Structure 1
Amino acid sequence: IRQQYGSYITNNVFLYGKLRIKLCKLKCDLIFLKVCKRENLLPKFVTFKIPSTHQHHQRAIQNCYRAILINEIKIKKRQLSQLYKMCKNLESSIQVEMDPVIKSRIRTIIKELEKEKEIVFRNRHGKKLEMLRTLQKLPSNIKRKTITTSPIKNYSKRTLTHDETVALENGLDFILPSLTFDEESFISNIETLFVSLLGKCSDKNDYEERESDELIVYNLTPEQLKLSNKLRKLCDTFRWNAYKTISRYRDDTEPMIRTLRNLSKDKSIHISRADKGRAVVILNKIDYNTKMESILNDTGAFKIIESDPTLKKEDMLQHKLLKLRNSGFITDAEYIYARPVGSGPGKAYGLPKIHKKDLPLRPIISTCNTFNYKLSKLLAKKLGHLRISPNIINDTFKFVDEIHSLRFNQDEIKLVSFDIISLFTKVPLDRTIEIILEQMYGKPHTCTFSNKKKDDWCDNCKNRYELKSLLEIATKDSHFIFNDKIYCQLQGIAMGSPLGPLFADVYINYLETKLKRRLVTNGVLYWKRFVDDSFVIVKKDADINKLLKILNSFDPAVQFTVEIENNGTIPFLDILISRNNNSTGSRTFTTTIYRKPTFTGLLLKWTSYVPMSYKISAISSMAYRAIRICST
């Protein structure tokens, strides 16, 4: 190195190696100090001798010891940050000047030295910890408090191996790093960028259109040559870092990929996420198919069809949208967006309800790439204002603030919540469509009942007719596939359709409006709803069964269940709402975070190969929710 690059680069390389070893020692020291803090151990450097005449200050002395330990941890963290910056600067200066092959060899040597030193540091700290535990008579198996609930719910006959358990405990949202680097795409993209920067893009759309002996020559200025050389070095550095990352993750990733691949080959089991929570659920394939088919065999809700009608329906919708664009009912942009191309049937699957007996399934239909998916999204966006209601909860934090601002006499109220059974599949489509049309265009005119031709109708009736036809296409003409059979849904709206939340809110808003007077007369003081869950404050002497009967009398298909407060508290969404018994001069209700029984504690793993911002957001969002929701 000295012969080829001189003493300056050589000194930087040696300094870089020393700093890396120092960084390794600092990390080990920090781990040692954190263990001492967690287990209430006192390293020798934080203690000092106290005369026997001053032993009555023992409590203050112990607090002082702990303060010294905590301060030392803060100092180590600052030193660690400074060392990281110094190493980064040295590494950058070395990378610019040195050949990638030599840099790779130097890194390997330094890494080996780091590993050797790390073993020495860890052994030394291990001995110190054992000695401190012995002196202070603490058990050596103290661990941090963790959530013991396993995220894996295995209801199948298969017994998971240790490797399979470790792989699945990461959750189904865990991202494994790629173990390949696409050299061809990388080079192609960089060359395209380079040529674009030069402003000499080819007028040929495809490389095959060029002559085989065509020679392309770029006459670059000295400044362009300098910048192109810099770009080349940056690309080499990026490629080297990519291969380094792949090499670092390969030993851990390849065995996990093999384990998951072998697990996926077992056709006797079905692996999915739970209906609520992030649990990984394993079912026998036979049991899963039997439960799904028992749901789909309901002839009142589903029907098997012999052939796939996707192409026919796609062609029909294309002609319909073209006609509406030509008439001016939709814009060109809306036509392009909603026009279906290359559609397929929906995909039905079930999510196990692990919090209920016998593990019933919630049927979900993935409507992505169906012929009416984009149309449904377009209609949901255009009609979104119809969901607005003073009873609807749009923001958890605003709801919590509103709860805190309420003032009631505790002796005169009680808390209840109402839940609708299978709302999405029970929403009456025809009735809901008529409600939407009435809110958009008012009552039907005489045009539709007269003998007039459609072309002679008024604009209001024409628009009403066209919107009705689009809503029916988006909701009634849904078909899907499960277990190689094609089904058509006869009633309700599919779980997974973009129009599902809109139809649910519109219909329940209508129900609430019609029943409001009766509910208030029978003791309802406050009503808020999120989709199918309602939080209600009623008078102390209100007859809950009568309220339930009123709600269930509106539509035989839409049925409610009720939950009454327990010891002055009731869970609602992810909030636990409690009545404040000492509410004189203060808020009537207090709130805190509520964890459902299905909560497994599984979050985005720190080792998941996703951007750092995702990981930070996973933690910060939970902390923010706790601060905003909790009263204290």
Structure 2
Amino acid sequence: MVLDDCCLALDTLEPDLYHKTQSLAEKTKQHLHEKVKTTHITKFTQLQRPPTSNIPEANNTTNPKTVINLSSKPLTPSQTSLLAKGLKYVPVTAKINTDAFITSIESGLQQLAPNGNVDYFRHQIIDTIKQAPKPRSSLTHQERQAITELKKDDTITITEADKGKAAVIMDTPEFLQLVNNSLSDTTTYLNIKKDPTARLERQQKKTPKDLHEKREINDIIFNQLNPINSQAPYGRATIKIHKNPPKARILVCSRGSVFYNTAQFLSRLLAPFGKDGKSYISDSSSFVNQLKESDLTDTMVSYDVVDLFTNIPLEEALDILGSKLANRIDDLDTHLTIHSIINFARSYFDTSYFTFNAPFQPLCWYRKVDDTFTTITNDNDPSELFNHLNDQHPRIKFTMETETNQHLPFLDVSLHTTADGLRTSVYRKPTHTDQCW
């Protein structure tokens, strides 16, 4: 329809203007074709260049604000250079994962050749990848060594600054002392001895089920709010280096926890309530725009709430929420009643918890009835996880068997770690009679 309209418009133009328009369209089309062609030729040319050195040039210029060393241990230039890249920096490895690349473009190949004739394209791509030089490593040899050195050094702790992205290095005892100072505030934190995640998940499952049966939520929201295989929230500490002396701020990650999806749902549902206050500003740009509309020449003052999120008076907050809902429930896109929304919020507020310095996560975990097999990194202590497991329930207790001379039996399998990886063979207990029944 749009093409027909364009053709009709061209037919109504004067002959000279028509030819000029047509010529301009052809030139534009040819220019775009040449541009795309040149881009693809350049990419393939770069891929086909002979391999170059994978050793990047050392960067001796480090911003002093990116690495804050508060520890008693001096850092080497390589360690400083590594940390200056940022704690979320992902290094480029000198290796191309051909299988993953082919897998990711397979759907695109099917679209290029819908009849299934994609072998030619697939072989061309594989040949190009194999001929391409290896990616250039983004770390020097010294920086890769620095990763190993810093990981093995348990006398220092590396964390983030509370403001900005600086890496902060502290002596581990001093870091733990700052954390303990924050967690020792009994008006804010209470030490619990047992992980309540499983119990809370069982309780929370009842709420969306009841609301679904009452038709207050649909199938999509029910599936969103129904917790499955929940994990305990975990806390970590950042350092307020702008304070003198420095202090620790406890941050909690609740992704994957029992109430995470509930909190996300309530946040989206109640978002309009947070934006209708006369004092509300969304960001710095909004603040500057508001100032432009005002004529302020008197004394400027700023007041900042101390530790707001851990000191919100919950009952007063729920009362205010109830009052706003009573006046504006019809403005929200929901079939939930005021009572249901308040109960959602209360359940989340009343069960805020997290783990800190929890036992490490095993690399794998396999179970056959009462026997489990797991692997852990070499720098972890297996007894730490062993003690954690035995603290979960007074009736459920574990025993532990660790590998001996890189050998461990599990079920009827004998496992042996070698330089080439894990090897398996048949295992028979010493009491086995070798009889067939």
Give the whole-Å Cα distance in 1 for the aligned partners of 2:62 and 2:148: 28
CA contact (8 A) 2:70 2:168 kept: yes
SS at match of 1:329: coil
For residue 316 of structure 2, what is the aligned residue in structure 1? 431
Change (3 A) 1:190 1:149: closer
Tell me which of 282, 286, 289 is aligned to 1:401.
289
**1:236 aligns to 2:127 (yes or no):** yes
Contact 2:67 2:83 in 1 (8 A): yes
Q: 1:483 aligned to 357, 364, 383, which one?
A: 357
Partner residue in 1 for 2:340: 466
Q: 1:406 is aligned with what amino acid?
A: S
**Residue pair 2:95, 2:134 contacting (<8 A) in 1 also:** no
Q: Residue 232 and residue 152 in structure 1: after superposition, are their counterparts in 2 closer, same or farther (change >3 A)?
A: same
- Distance (Å, rounded) in 2 between the aligned partners of 1:173 and 1:276: 15
The amino acid that maps onto 1:393 is: I
Aligned to 1:414: 299
**What is the CA-CA distance between 1:233 and the residue it aligns to?**
1.4
Residue in structure 1 matched with residue 221 of structure 2 by the alignment:
334
Q: Which residue of 1 aligns with 2:273?
A: 386
Which of the pair has more CA radius of gyration?
1
Q: Deviations over 1:84-123 (max 9, x none)?
A: 999978767879xxxx9xx55xx35xx79xxxxxxxxxxx
Give, in angstroms, the shift of residue 170 of structure 1: 1.7
Deviation, structure 1 residue 191 = 5.5
**How far apart, in 2, do the equivalents of 1:321 and 1:91 lie?**
56
> Match of 1:319?
206
Deviation sequence 1:198-222 (CA, Å, 0-9, x none): 668xxxxxxxxxxxxxxxxxxx7xx
SS of the aligned residue for 1:305 comes to: coil
SS of 2:194's partner is coil
CA distance in structure 2 between the partners assigned to 1:94 and 1:395 by the alignment: 45
Q: CA deviation at 1:197?
A: 6.5
Distance change (3 Å), C-alpha of 1:367 and 1:88? closer
- After TM superposition, the score normalised by the length of structure 1 is 0.45
**Quick check: 2:63–2:84 contact (8 Å CA) kept in 1?**
no
Match of 1:151 in 2: 66
8 Å contact from structure 1 (residues 274, 352) kept in 2: yes
Give per-residue Cα distances to partners, 1:374-433, cap 9 Å, x unaligned.
10010010001110212111132232133133235x4xx222111111111111111101
Secondary structure of 1:420's counterpart equals coil
Deviation at 1:373, TM superposition (A): 0.8
1:310 has 2:178 as partner? no
Deviation for aligned residue 1:361: 0.8
Report the Cα distance in structure 1 between the residues aligned to 2:105 and 2:295, rounded to whole angstroms. 64
Matches within 5 A, 1:358-373: 358-373=245-260
- Residues 324, 178 of structure 1: CA spacing in aligned structure 2 closer, same or farther, 3 A cutoff? farther
**8 Å contact 2:231–2:257 — kept in the other structure?**
yes
Residues 183 and 305 of structure 1: is their aligned pair in 2 closer, same or farther, counting only changes over 3 Å?
same
Change (3 A) 1:93 1:320: closer
CA-to-aligned-CA distance 1:505-536 (integer Å, 9 cap, x gap): xxxxxxxxxxxxxxxxxxxxxxxxxxxxxxxx
Q: Match of 1:177?
A: 92
The answer (yes or no) to whether the contact 1:275–1:351 under 8 Å persists in 2 is yes
Letter in 2 for 1:165: T
Q: Is the 8 A contact 1:269 1:284 kept in 2?
A: yes
- CA offset digits 1:432-479 (Å, max 9, x no partner): 011111110259xxxxxxxxxxxxxxxxxx923222221111122011
Q: Which residue of 1 aligns with 2:3?
A: none
Cross-structure match for 1:162:
77
Provide the rounded CA distance (Å) in 1 between the counterparts of 2:152 and 2:255: 26
Alpha-carbon separation, structure 1, partners of 2:354 and 2:202? 17
Give the C-alpha shift of residue 188 in structure 1: 4.4
**SS in structure 2 of the partner of residue 416 of structure 1:** coil
Change (3 A) 1:415 1:94: closer
Which residue identity is paired with 1:336? N
Cα separation, 1, equivalents of 2:197 and 2:245: 35
Question: C-alpha separation between the residues in 2 aligned to 1:301 and 1:286?
Answer: 23
- The runs of 5 or more residues in structure 1 that have no matched partner are 1-83, 113-145, 201-219, 444-461, 486-632
**Aligned-residue CA RMSD (Å):** 3.4
Greater relative contact order (Cα < 8 A, sep 6+): 1
Where structure 2 has 5 or more consecutive residues not aligned to the other structure, the ranges are 1-34, 54-60, 329-335, 360-437
3-state DSSP class of the match of 2:190? strand
Name the % identity. 22
Cα distance in 2 for residues equivalent to 1:239 and 1:322: 54
Change in 2 beyond 3 A, CA 1:440/1:85: closer
> Please, what TM-score do these two structures have when normalized by structure 2?
0.63
SS of 2:279 mapped into structure 1: coil
Tell me if structure 2 keeps the 8 A contact 1:345–1:481: yes
- Count of residue pairs brought into register by the alignment: 311
Secondary structure of 1:394's counterpart equals: coil
Q: Which amino acid letter does the alignment assign opposite residue 387 of structure 1?
A: G
More helix by share: 1
**Partner Cα separation in structure 2 for residue 319 and residue 333 of structure 1:** 16
Indicate which of 278, 290, 300 corresponds to 2:165.
Answer: 278
Pair 1:329–1:164, CA change in 2 (3 A): same
Q: 1:186 aligns with which of 70, 86, 101?
A: 101
One-letter code of the match for 1:181? I
Superposed CA deviations along residues 114-148 of structure 1, whole A, max 9, x for unmatched, are xxxxxxxxxxxxxxxxxxxxxxxxxxxxxxxx996
Determine the C-alpha separation between the residues in 1 that align with 2:351 and 2:162: 26
Give CA deviations for 1:249-306 in whole Å, capped at 9, x if unaligned.
Answer: 27x4554233123202211211111011221101111112122122222222221212
Residue-by-residue CA offset, 1:585-616 (whole Å, 9 max, x unaligned): xxxxxxxxxxxxxxxxxxxxxxxxxxxxxxxx
| Structure 2 letter corresponding to 1:158 | K
Q: 1:330 to 1:262 in 2, by over 3 A?
A: same
**Aligned 1:95-110 pairs, distance under 5 A:** 107=50
The aligned amino acid for 2:356 is F
Question: Judging changes above 3 Å, is the alpha-carbon distance between structure 1 residues 147 and 179 closer, same or farther for their aligned structure 2 residues?
Answer: closer
Assess if the C-alpha contact under 8 Å between 1:352 and 1:360 holds in 2. yes
- Cα distance 1:383–1:258, how it changes in 2: closer, same or farther (>3 A)? same
Asked whether the 8 Å contact 2:200–2:258 carries over to 1, the reply is yes
- Counterpart Cα distance in 1 of 2:44 and 2:100: 29
1:359 deviates by 0.8
Task: State the distance in 2 between where 1:93 and 1:239 align.
Answer: 12
